[in-house]
Amino acid sequence: MSRSLWMRIGIALLCLAGVVVLYQIIAPRIRPLPVYMALPDVTLMNQDGQSFDLHQTSGKVVVVSPIYTYCPDICPVTTAKMKQIQDRVQAAGFSNQVQLVTFTVDPERDRPDVLKLFAERFHADPGNWVFLTGTSDQIDILIKGLDLFVERVFYINGTPFPESSLPAPRTDIPYLVNHTDRLFLVDRQGNVRALPPGSRTDVDNAMQLIQKLVNEQGSGG
């Protein structure tokens, strides 16, 4: 086989490799995001003690974050990520099109006043960021609808016991809450379209997804 033919084959392979790389860069931006589930429609209570119906977020892109305020590790990191997202959304000029929603998975302890102090700790702007609590039944609607794992772990004499292993734990026993570390990006029609990894979320990537949902027209991409 001649040298010139080998050169043409080499050039063709380089061009093919370039096309593959270009596709990998462009495809995520043009390919519609999947639909995972619908954001449950439930009425909760915000950090000011006012009723807040999740249905009222319809028509906006929504970033949802499950947390609890007694969390010693991932929840503060996740909330700091949400603050970065809020700042980036404001800088991009579409705060009126994006609603941030943080809800507690520990409604027994996270009353509205507790959530308000938590929100202030992170300098959350209430203009488009709400912190929600409710009854256990109301929060369960969100937990089940978003397919979250949530379990309290009680500490008895320093030993952890998952709630499922205890017949009836006393209310005065200290506990932490194990739960799924995840964010939920919701489109204007109320469909969950992306699942960033909570405390490990890359804010740049999250902003690209949010921008994509902001720019979407119609339902389901």
The three-state (H, E, C) secondary structure of the chain, written as one string: CCHHHHHHHHHHHHHHHHHHHHHHHHHHHHCCCCCCEECCCCEEEECCCCEEEHHHHCCCEEEEEEECCCCCCHHHHHHHHHHHHHHHHHHHCCHHHEEEEEEECCCCCCCHHHHHHHHHHCCCCCCCEEEEECCHHHHHHHHHHCCCCEEEEEEECCEEEEHHHCCCCCCCCCEEEEECCCCEEECCCCEEEECCCHHHCCHHHHHHHHHHHHHCCCCCC
Is the pLDDT assigned to residue 148 strictly greater than 90? yes
As a whole number, mean pLDDT of residues 100-120 equals: 98
Which of 71-75, 130-134, 135-139, 157-161 bottoms out in mean pLDDT, i.e. has the lowest?
157-161
The pLDDT confidence band at residue 19, using thresholds 50, 70 and 90, is: very low
Domain residue ranges in the chain: 1-31, 35-215
Q: Does domain 35-215 have CATH number 3.40.1260.10?
A: no
d(CA 122, CA 144): 28
pLDDT at 32: 85
Express each pLDDT in 159-218 by its tens digit. 998 988 888 777 788 999 999 999 999 999 999 999 999 999 999 999 999 999 999 864
Is the pLDDT assigned to residue 221 strictly greater than 80? no
pLDDT at 9: 59
pLDDT at 28: 46
Are the C-beta atoms of 132 and 101 separated by less than 8 Å?
A: yes
d(CA 98, CA 90): 9
d(CA 67, CA 144): 15
d(CA 97, CA 173): 43
Strand (E) or helix (H) holding 169:
none
Q: What is the DSSP letter of 122?
A: T
Express each pLDDT in 54-73 by its tens digit. 999 999 999 999 999 999 99
The four Cα atoms 198, 203, 209, 213 give a dihedral, to 10 degrees, of: 90
C-alpha radius of gyration, the chain, whole number: 22
As a whole number, mean pLDDT of residues 36-48 equals: 97
Report the percent of the chain where pLDDT is more than 70: 84
pLDDT at 142: 96
